[in-house]
Structure 1
Amino acid sequence: MALKRQFDMSATFSMASLTDVIFLLLIFFMVTSTFVFPNALEVNLPESAETTALKPTARVYIDAEGQLATMYGEGNSWEILPDEQPLDAFLAIISQQEGDEAFVALYADVAVPYGRVVELLNLGQKYNVKVVLATSAPATVPADGPQQQ
């Protein structure tokens, strides 16, 4: 006696429900995403054919022990400041000689505490001298610190 099945199983898959879910996800992400609109003003910047680099009026070097050395002008020799001669006297002289055009490049060893650097920045502000923190070692200073001449 042969029994015959009445229901044949179909192996087809309906893609309609899957596409509905994909479109719903697409709409969800489009609604929840933020749109970035640049709020910049269009500015025509001036152009220059030449660039001139300002050279510092003076240079101050602080080594790891906190010893200060100074160089004024275009010289290549560092003068170590004795402990009894404070840096503010040096900055006062520069401020008197150069006026508003005076600025000092400050070279500090990596071991110098940041508080000491801030003290020197405050001294520059006190005497109206612009102090610029130099990010590379000066070429004339050897690795062991400034040489007294």
Structure 2
Amino acid sequence: MNLRGRNKVSPEFSMSSMTDIVFLLLVFFLLTSPSITPEALDLLLPSAGGKTSTQGKVTVSISKEGVYYVDATQATEEDLESRILNTLQGKEKPTIMLRSDKDAAVSYSVKVMDIANRNKIQIVLAVKNN
């Protein structure tokens, strides 16, 4: 007489449910992670070891050709100061985040720093972390 049961439990493990969970976690973290690139200008920033965090009220970007951008919209050299002041009007702690290409002439950055100094505006130089 054979008393053993015919239903045997299989010791195999199905990986399909595990891969579904891993895929869902990957999609979740990709969608909830913050965007790394502020604005969409392709600038090569100089490197530095420190890190500065600020709530940049206005971003001034300078390309290596000397083209100025105020919050990702192009500005002429003559119009630069008025555009910055209009953007910062009524702000509690006016701050300029200066993003200058590493190959841009220093005179372009000095012009923006001079505008900030004349108008008593704090300025932060954006750099790429090592």
TM-score class, shorter-chain normalisation, is 0.5 to 0.7
The partner residue of 1:130 within 122, 125, 128 is 122
More strand by share: 2
Question: Does 1:80 pair with 2:74?
Answer: yes
Structure 1 residue aligned with 2:45? none
Residue 119 of structure 1 aligns with which residue? 111
Contact 1:91 1:127 in 2 (8 A): no
Counterpart CA distance in 2 for 1:56 and 1:120 is 15
**1:95 and 1:127 in contact (8 A); partners too:** no
Runs of 4+ in 1 over 4 A off after TM superposition: none
1:118: how far off? 1.2
| 1:74-126 alpha-carbon deviations (Å, 9 max, x no partner) | xxxx2111x37521102222443214x01011000112111221121010111
Q: 2:61, 2:97 → 1: CA distance? A: 9
Distance (whole Å) between structure 2 residues aligned to residue 134 and residue 110 of structure 1: 11
Aligned ranges 1:32-47 → 2 under 5 Å:
none
| Greater RCO structure (CA 8 Å; 6+ sep) | 2
C-alpha contact 2:68 2:77 (8 A) present in aligned 1? no
Amino acid at match of 1:69: Y
**Quick check: 2:58–2:97 contact (8 Å CA) kept in 1?**
yes
In the superposition, relative to structure 1, how do residues 116 and 95 fare at CA in structure 2: closer, same or farther (>3 Å)? same
Q: Distance in 2 between matches of 1:65 and 1:54?
A: 27
Which structure: larger Rg? 1
Normalising by structure 1, what TM-score?
Answer: 0.46
* SS at structure 2 position matched to 1:124: helix
Q: Which ranges in structure 1 are unaligned for 5 or more consecutive residues?
A: 1-52, 72-77, 138-149
